[in-house]
């Protein structure tokens, strides 16, 4: 026994990083090793064990925890050395993808995410379809990604194997041919290129990307996505159960702000620009397939379908040691996880775009640096699971799942007489099936700098409270609270229409555990998808009041909600976060529901009183009831103005883009003449980058949404673009700014 103890001690002392399996049935037990869950988890069998990447310091904590453990990989460096050069490198993978596109040009195109990484690498992939050069609206889309974490090498091989097998089976295997002919597949084997190049083949056991922040390197790409749901506990940066960390050196650092990583920002922009109904994200290891949510045990709106499909897919995949992959909701089969890609893709589809998108994550294999002898088994087994998922995407998802009615876009109204119409554009109505619409009229806005002395009626409080313990002016401010594991927020009650030169301004005071507890200020057009203003986060102890102001130029012409949010992890409490003197704070004195059972996307007023009004629209479907409201659209009703000509009968071409400054998409609206209309988009140098041809069958308002991409679907760089409408001899031009 003494000899074994000496031998174990020698292994620990000289092996460097190792993997230690800690046996426990509870995630919370790991707080005995690290109170803030600052652990590098390699693999999990939930309810049984957690594999932890361990150095000398962590090993001491494991021993001191009293938990049962065993060393499963005495030396990660030695295990990796056996595999050096036997996996494909970043450059080789890109060559393989190009060769696939060249060898199968009729069904495959070479593609990339729209922006390069911090170190200048492009994230390449391929699109497979019977018409790969165009986006076919009648075909659902499957997005496959891999290697969010750079040391999970085997997942690259899984995607390459699937891609090569599909291409070589087309025209030979009928069921594969049918898949390609009726589905659009987008496959990206390397998301975290910078981290992978750093880890391969030098073997740094690296997980994150390579972007610096506060003297440290790297963000966990799979903690850097937004939430898009109705619960703040599911938004980026929530750390109440160890789902992520705000400490920059942590292996699960969630980033300075949402989508701060070029990898995650690039994948989200690609998702915006394509019609995606299913996503499979590959990680390693654990031999398990999982689905949203990662941050709560409560099921998602489509939990029944997720469970049914997940069970079918996992049963197709045999484990290395026998049996099939486990399956379950991320929170239940893995550990609490926030800011993950599948949670964002699903929630964005369900609440924001109104397009169903089921998203799964598969943990393949039994180790990071999987023995090469296991790769054939892993690739072939996961091919079976992904093929079944592709079939479900083709046949079932759009039938069984439906999103909420997406926030519509109201067409510009402007200055009108007492008889006018409000018209709006439904977003993806063929997929969320609105049955009726509600039109709300708002008037008499009051826009002030809110010193909070009259109460909090302008805000919706979600954990923040009014306090007199601190104040910048007067006697009151809003306070976050200071309880461990808390998520608190407050959000503007009414939307604010952004004008040129506007900014969000406020005073704050903080007493937060530095780099662990964090507060942020965010804006949203729809109360679901939130963006950090600037890249500032508030942390640490600031005993004086400080002023902050952030430009709203990117949202000019649209309406926004403002939200302040505070996130606490466990183990240490602090004084909290205070906010005072907030501008702009907008509230409307008069709000009237004009109608809530409108069958079409138009409502006409007769003899409307004059004045300045603002309108909101939302839609309802039979499954989820009401969706979220549109942005505000103003109307200046003036006596003496000629009665508005309904756009239904207008025959002169008209062109507008809303918003004119956008980061993800803009809606191009126009009233067509009977002749053919060409809409061309030019960059600042005058080069035509995108062309649309419209052949209207009847005279009515028309629209299209431009996602800042060229004719091939490739995202264009930020800058000024000109949208030109031409119909016969008539021409209109609109200038827009793509801001990223």
Residues 463, 486: contact at Cβ < 8 Å? yes
Q: What is the mean pLDDT of residues 457-463?
A: 98
- Integer-rounded Cα Rg, in Å, for the chain is 27
Helix (H) / strand (E) containing 25:
none
What does the alpha-carbon distance between residue 126 and residue 103 come to, in Å, rounded to a whole number?
A: 12
**Average pLDDT of the chain?**
90
pLDDT at residue 640 above 80?
A: no
Q: How confident is the model at residue 730 (pLDDT cuts 50, 70, 90)?
A: low
Q: How far is CA 439 from CA 460, 491, 586, 618, in A?
A: 22, 23, 20, 7
Q: Which two tokens stand for residue 736?
A: 């827009």
* Closest alpha carbon to 422 in 598, 658, 590, 560: 598
Q: What is the average pLDDT across 211-240? A: 96
Whether residue 71 has pLDDT greater than 60:
yes
Backbone angles phi, psi at 616, to 5 degrees: -125, 145
* Position 399 confidence tier, pLDDT thresholds 50, 70, 90: very high
Asked if 148 and 254 touch (Cβ cutoff 8 Å), the reply is no
Q: Confidence class of residue 572 from pLDDT cuts 50, 70 and 90?
A: confident
What integer is the mean pLDDT of 77-88? 65
Between residues 126 and 61, the one the model is more confident about: 126
Q: Report residue 98: phi and psi, to 5°.
A: -60, -40
User: Region 688-693: what's the mean pLDDT?
Assistant: 82
What's the pLDDT band for 686 if we cut at 50, 70, 90? low
- Contact by Cβ (8 Å): 379, 161: yes
Give, to the nearest 10 degrees, the angle between helix 56-65 and helix 2-14.
Answer: 140
Give the model confidence (pLDDT) of 300-336 as tens digits. Answer: 999 999 999 999 999 999 999 999 999 999 999 999 9
For 640, phi and psi rounded to 5 degrees? 100, -15
Asked if pLDDT for residue 14 goes beyond 50, the answer is no
Span 701-706, average pLDDT:
75
Structure tokens at 119: 């170190």
Domains of the chain, with CATH numbers?
Answer: 2-76 (3.30.70.250), 90-400 (3.40.630.10), 407-644 (2.60.120.200), 654-738 (2.60.40.1930)
d(Cα 128, Cα 186) in Å, to the nearest integer? 7
Q: Is the pLDDT of residue 6 over 60?
A: no
Would you call the peptide bond into 354 cis, given omega within 30 degrees of 0 as the criterion?
A: no
Q: Which of 224, 375, 202, 211 is nearest to 285 (CA)?
A: 375
Annotate 254-300 with DSSP letters as a single string: --SSTT-SHHHHHHHHHHHHS--SEEEEEE-SSSEEEES-SS-SSPP
Whole-angstrom Cα distance, residue 636 to residue 464? 37
What SS3 class is residue 215? Answer: coil
Distance, CA of 212 to CA of 342 (rounded, Å): 25
For residues 519, 521, 527, 530, the Cα torsion angle rounded to the nearest 10 degrees is -90
Are 317 and 385 in contact by the 8 Å Cβ rule? The answer is: yes
Q: Pick from 274, 405, 385: which is nearest to 707 by CA? A: 274
Average pLDDT on 190-215 reads 92
Helix (H, G, I), strand (E, B) or coil at 469: coil
């Amino acid at each position: 026994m003494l000899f074994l103890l000496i031998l174990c001690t020698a292994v620990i002392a000289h092996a460097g990083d190792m993997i230690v399996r800690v046996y426990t049935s509870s995630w919370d037990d790991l707080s005995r090793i690290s109170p803030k869950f600052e652990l590098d988890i390699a693999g999990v069998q939930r309810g049984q064990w957690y594999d932890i990447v361990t150095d000398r310091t962590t090993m001491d904590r494991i021993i001191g925890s009293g938990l049962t453990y065993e060393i499963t990989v005495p030396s990660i460096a030695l295990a990796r050395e056996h595999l050096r050069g036997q996996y494909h490198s970043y450059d080789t993978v890109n060559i393989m993808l190009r060769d696939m596109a060249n060898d199968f040009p009729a069904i495959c195109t070479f593609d990339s995410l729209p922006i390069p990484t911090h170190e200048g690498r492009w994230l390449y992939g391929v699109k497979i379809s019977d018409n790969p050069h165009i986006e076919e609206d009648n075909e659902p889309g499957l997005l496959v990604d891999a290697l969010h974490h750079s040391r999970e090498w085997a997942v690259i091989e899984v995607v390459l194997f699937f891609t090569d097998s599909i291409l070589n089976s087309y025209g030979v295997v009928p069921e594969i041919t049918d898949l390609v002919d009726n589905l659009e597949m987008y496959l990206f084997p390397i998301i975290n290129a910078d981290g992978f190049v750093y880890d391969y083949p030098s073997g740094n056991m690296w997980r994150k990307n390579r972007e610096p922040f506060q003297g440290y390197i790297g963000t966990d790409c799979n903690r850097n996505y937004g939430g898009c749901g109705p619960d703040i506990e599911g938004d980026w940066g929530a750390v109440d159960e160890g789902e992520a960390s705000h400490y920059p050196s942590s292996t699960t650092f969630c980033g300075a702000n949402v989508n701060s990583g070029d990898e995650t920002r690039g994948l989200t922009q690609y998702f915006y620009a394509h019609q995606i109904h299913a996503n499979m994200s590959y990680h390693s290891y654990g031999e398990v397939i999982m689905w949203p949510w990662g941050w709560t045990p409560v099921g998602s709106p489509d939990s029944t379908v997720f469970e049914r499909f997940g069970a079918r897919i996992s049963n197709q995949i045999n484990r290395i040691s026998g049996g099939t992959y486990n399956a379950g909701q991320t929170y239940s089969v893995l550990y609490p996880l926030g800011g993950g890609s599948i949670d964002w893709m699903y929630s964005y589809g369900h609440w924001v775009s109104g397009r169903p998108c089921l998203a799964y994550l598969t943990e393949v294999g039994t180790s990071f640096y999987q023995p090469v002898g296991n790769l054939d088994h892993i690739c072939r087994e996961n091919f079976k699971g992904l093929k079944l998922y592709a079939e479900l995407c083709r046949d079932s998802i759009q039938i069984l799942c439906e999103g909420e009615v997406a926030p519509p876009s109201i067409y510009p109204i402007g200055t009108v007489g007492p008889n006018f119409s409000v018209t709006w554009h439904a977003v993806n109505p063929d997929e969320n099936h609105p049955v009726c619409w509600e039109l709300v009229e708002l008037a008499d806005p009051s826009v002030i700098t809110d010193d909070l002395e009259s109460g909090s009626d302008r805000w919706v409080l979600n954990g923040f409270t009014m306090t007199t313990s601190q104040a910048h002016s007067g006697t009151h401010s809003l306070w976050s609270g200071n309880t461990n594991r808390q998520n608190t927020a407050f959000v503007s009650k009414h939307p604010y229409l952004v004008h040129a030169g506007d900014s969000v301004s406020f005073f704050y005071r903080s007493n937060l555990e530095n780099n662990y507890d964090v507060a942020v200020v965010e804006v949203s057009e729809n109360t679901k998808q939130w963006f950090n203003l600037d890249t500032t986060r508030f942390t640490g102890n600031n005993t004086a009041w400080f002023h902050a102001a952030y430009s709203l130029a990117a949202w000019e012409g649209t309406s926004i909600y403002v939200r302040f949010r505070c996130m606490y992890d466990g183990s240490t409490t602090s004084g909290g976060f205070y906010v005072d003197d907030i501008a702009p704070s907008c509230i409307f004195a008069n709000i009237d529901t004009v109608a809530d059972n409108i069958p079409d996307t138009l409502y006409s007023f007769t003899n409307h009183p004059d004045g300045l009004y603002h309108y909101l629209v939302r839609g309802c479907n039979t499954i989820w009831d009401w969706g979220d409201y549109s942005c505000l659209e103003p109307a200046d009703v003036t006596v003496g103005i000629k009665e508005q000509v309904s756009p239904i009968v207008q025959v002169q071409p008209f062109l507008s883009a809303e918003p004119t400054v956008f980061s993800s998409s803009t809606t191009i609206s126009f009233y067509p003449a009977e002749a053919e209309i060409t809409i061309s988009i030019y960059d600042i140098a005058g080069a035509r980058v995108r062309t649309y041809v419209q052949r209207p069958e009847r005279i009515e308002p028309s629209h299209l949404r431009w996602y800042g991409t060229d004719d091939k679907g490739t995202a264009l760089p930020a800058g000024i673009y000109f949208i030109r409408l031409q119909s016969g001899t008539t021409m209109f031009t609109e200038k827009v700014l793509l801001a990223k």
